[in-house]
A = this chain, B = another copy of it.
Amino acid sequence: MKIAFIGLGNMGLPMALNLLKAGHLVTGFDLVKSQLDLFTAAGGAIAPDLKTAAKDAEVLISMLPASKHVEGLYLGEEGLLANTNPKTLLIDCSTISPKVAQAVATKAKAKGFAMIDAPVSGGTAGAQAGTLTFMVGGDASDVERAHPLLEKMGKNIFHAGASGAGQTVKVCNNMILGIQMLGTSEALRLGIANGIDPKVLSDIISKSSGRNWALELYNPCPGVMENVPSSKGYAGGFGVDLMLKDLGLAVENAEGLGASVPLGELAKQLYETHSKAGNGQLDFSSVFNLK
């Protein structure tokens, strides 16, 4: 299958490489030359501009940093919607505002395109291993069309609902994740202050009603688990600034709809404080050290 892949960053590049490995013809585009070099070295084709990259593509996948980049890519006179064959299936894997995802998909449909939002979780390790989780919004028939490709990049593919639903589920999931990482950190610090071994504490809570993904699989206290960022100086993993971005999307989305997210708001403030103290690039479990 002929695929255009827009955005070959830390996530996009390994995703595009997995499509290449699966035997697809992938033409990549990015603004950063070093990323393009990595892609061509692995056998990928590149295009001099967006229009050329999208030309003849049966499927176009985008993986960009934020809402404004996605709007810039698809909308306007120079955007893809105005310059691409509407038979191209559009898959946006960026994590952006649910409202923006809905708006772009609505405009795409008006021009005859099929478009789905398919944000991912699993980080760069999941992108490399092809084990990402896709949370997908869009028409069932379009999701089905995308499925064989998503399978090459991910392990779990969830159809959440109509356009924007993928973004909503990701925002909701990551808001819980950000909150429970903070709550778990507070409880572990409190246990330690009381003289309890954090490993014993984690083991017991993992079998009790306080159990959650952060505690069980991504423990924020150094030394409790091997092979997690907390035991490697909080390197790698999912950055504080990425969690901050997702909590920003959650709070913004909630404000727009009049939904109440007090813990989400406090979590956002705490990750912001932690980021401003110079920890933005560390894994988000480093909030364990925010005292």
Binding site for B on A (CB under 8 A): 98, 121, 133, 135, 156, 158, 160-162, 164-165, 168-169, 171-177, 179-180, 182-184, 186-191, 193-197, 200-201, 203-205, 207-215, 218, 250, 253-254, 257-264, 266-267, 270, 290-291
A98 CA to B214 CA, complexed, in Å? 25
B173–A208 contact, CB under 8 A?
A: yes
A210–B180 contact, CB under 8 A?
A: yes
B contact residues around A194 at 8 Å (CB): 98, 164-165, 168, 253, 257
A175–B186 contact, CB under 8 A?
A: yes
B contact residues around A260 at 8 Å (CB): 186, 189, 290-291
B contact residues around A262 at 8 Å (CB): 182, 186, 266, 270
A266–B264 contact, CB under 8 A?
A: no
A121–B190 contact, CB under 8 A?
A: no
Query: Told that A133-B208, A175-B190, A211-B213 touch, could you supply 20 new A-B pairs with CB distance under 8 A?
Result: A158-B204, A160-B196, A160-B204, A162-B195, A165-B196, A168-B190, A169-B201, A172-B196, A172-B205, A173-B205, A175-B187, A176-B212, A179-B263, A180-B180, A180-B212, A190-B250, A190-B261, A194-B253, A263-B266, A263-B270
B contact residues around A189 at 8 Å (CB): 259-261
Distance (Å) between the CB of A291 and the closest chain B CB?
5
B contact residues around A270 at 8 Å (CB): 262-263
Q: State the 8 A-B residue pairs at the shortest beta-carbon distance, nearest first.
A: A212-B212, A179-B183, A176-B210, A173-B210, A172-B187, A193-B257, A168-B194, A193-B259
A261 CA to B270 CA, complexed, in Å? 11
Distance (Å) between the CB of A44 and the closest chain B CB?
30
B contact residues around A291 at 8 Å (CB): 260
Of the candidates B169, B173, B188, B210, the one whose C-beta lies within 8 Å of that of A213 is B210
A interface, over-half SS: helix
Distance (Å) between the CB of A165 and the closest chain B CB?
6
Of the candidates B183, B193, B266, the one whose C-beta lies within 8 Å of that of A176 is B183
Of the candidates B190, B200, B259, the one whose C-beta lies within 8 Å of that of A161 is B200
25 A-B pairs in the complex with CB atoms less than 8 angstroms apart: A133-B207, A158-B203, A161-B200, A162-B195, A168-B191, A168-B196, A172-B187, A172-B190, A172-B191, A172-B210, A175-B183, A175-B190, A176-B180, A176-B184, A183-B263, A186-B261, A189-B259, A190-B250, A190-B253, A190-B261, A193-B258, A194-B257, A209-B213, A262-B266, A263-B263
B contact residues around A158 at 8 Å (CB): 203-204, 207
A160–B200 contact, CB under 8 A?
A: yes
B contact residues around A250 at 8 Å (CB): 190
B263–A182 contact, CB under 8 A?
A: yes
Asked if A176 meets B172 with Cβ closer than 8 Å, knowing A194-B98, A195-B161, A263-B266, the reply is no
